[in-house]
Amino acid sequence: DRHVAIALGHHSDDNIETILMKILRGSSLTSLQGISKILVDSKSNLVKFRPLLSFAKSELVDYLTDLGLDWREDSSNASCDYQRNRIRNRLVPLLEELAGSPKALSERFGELSLQSQMLQEWIENEIRTGDIKEKRLLNRKELTFCKEYSSSSLSPSSSVSLSPLVHPSPKTFFLNLSEPVLVQRERLARFLSVAKGGHPVLARSVNQIMSKLGDSSSQRRVASVDLGKGFRAFCEGDNAVSVMHEDGLKMYCNN
C-alpha cells in the first residue's frame, strides 16, 4: 500500500505549550510528552511528520529573516481568548526569561518529555511481563478447574462457573497489589479511560481511587469517586474498582 506523507510546521514552542496544557489539566507523569515527530494513520495510510520540532520559533523567524523571507503568523494567535494562546503569549515568554533563553527552555521541556517517554516504556514492559505471568496463572487455574470438574461427580449439564477473579467483568478492575504502584496506577488509568469510552482520566481521579482503596476505614463499604462526563468509580475492598455511568446507575437503583 502507498502512503501519503505530510510535513507539518510544529516547532519546539508548540511542544512546550502542549506539555504545559497537560500539566494544567492534571495529566499523569507518563502523559507529559510533547508532540510526536512521526504519526502514522494505518486506516488512511497517512504519515504526518514534524521536522522542525527541535527548533524554537525564534530560531525559525531569524532563519527566514536572514534569507529575506517573511514569517507568516495566523492572526488568531495574538488573541488571548483561548487557553493555549494565553500560555503562548503570557506564560511561555516568562518561562523563557527565567530559563535564560528560548533554546534553554526548549531543552528543559525536551528532557521532561524524554523522561516521561522512558517511564512509559518501563511501565509498558512491566505490564507486558505481568500480563504474561497472569496469562500463565490463568491457564493453570483453568486447567486445574477442568481436571477437578472432570474428576467430580457433577454431570456435564451442571451449572459451574469460574471465580469472578479469574474472569472479571469488563467494567470491573482488580489491582494486582504485588505489582509496583506506578504499574498499578497506569493499569487503573487505562481501565478508567476505556470504561469512560476513551475519555481522558485526570491523575487526581486515580489518586482519589488509590487513596480510597488503601483506606482501612473504608474496606467494609463501597466508596465512590466522580470521574466526570457522568461516570462514577466505585471502590470496594483493597483492590476492586467498578465504573458505571449515571444513567445506568439510575436504572440499577430503580430496579
**How does pLDDT run across 48-81, given as a tens digit for each residue?**
999 999 888 888 999 999 999 999 888 888 888 8
Q: How far apart are CA 227 and CA 238, in angstroms?
A: 19
pTM of the shown model: 0.68
Q: Which residues contact 199 (CB under 8 A, 6 or more apart)?
A: 193, 228, 229, 231
Rounded Cα distance, 113 and 243, in Å: 31
Which pLDDT does position 85 carry in this prediction?
93
Distance CA 108, CA 154 (A): 66
C-alpha cell at 62: 531569524
Mean pLDDT of 145-173: 44
N residues, the chain: 255
The tens digit of pLDDT for each residue in 99-133 reads 999 889 999 999 999 999 999 899 888 888 877 66
Angle CA 19–100–106, to nearest 5: 30
C-alpha triplet 100, 106, 110: angle, nearest 5°: 135
Question: Which residue in this structure is represented by grid cell 488573541?
Answer: 79
> The C-alpha cell of 133 is what?
505471568
3-state secondary structure the chain: CCCEEEECCCCHHHHHHHHHHHHHHCCCHHHCCCCCCEEEECCCCEEEECCCCCCCHHHHHHHHHHCCCCCCCCHHHHCCCCHHHHHHHHHHHHHHHHHCCHHHHHHHHHHHHHHHHHHHHHHHHHHHHHHHHHHHHHHHHHHHHHHHHHHCCCCCCCCCCCCCCCCCCCCEEECCCCCCHHHHHHHHHHHHHHHCCCCCCCHHHHHHHHHHHCCHHHCCCCEEEEEECCEEEEEECCCEEEEEEHHHHHHHHHC
Instruction: Tell me the pairing of strands 231-236 and 223-228.
Output: antiparallel
Q: In the predicted model, is pLDDT for residue 91 greater than 90?
A: yes
End-to-end CA distance of the chain: 53
**What pLDDT, on a 0 to 100 scale, did the predictor assign at position 23?**
92
Give residue 249's pLDDT band: very low, low, confident or very high (50, 70, 90).
low
Instruction: Tell me the per-residue pLDDT of 190-224, one tens digit each, with 9 for 90 and over.
Output: 889 888 888 888 888 999 999 888 766 655 567 88
**Cα(179)–Cα(127) distance, integer angstroms:** 9
Cβ atoms of 143 and 167 within 8 Å: the answer is no
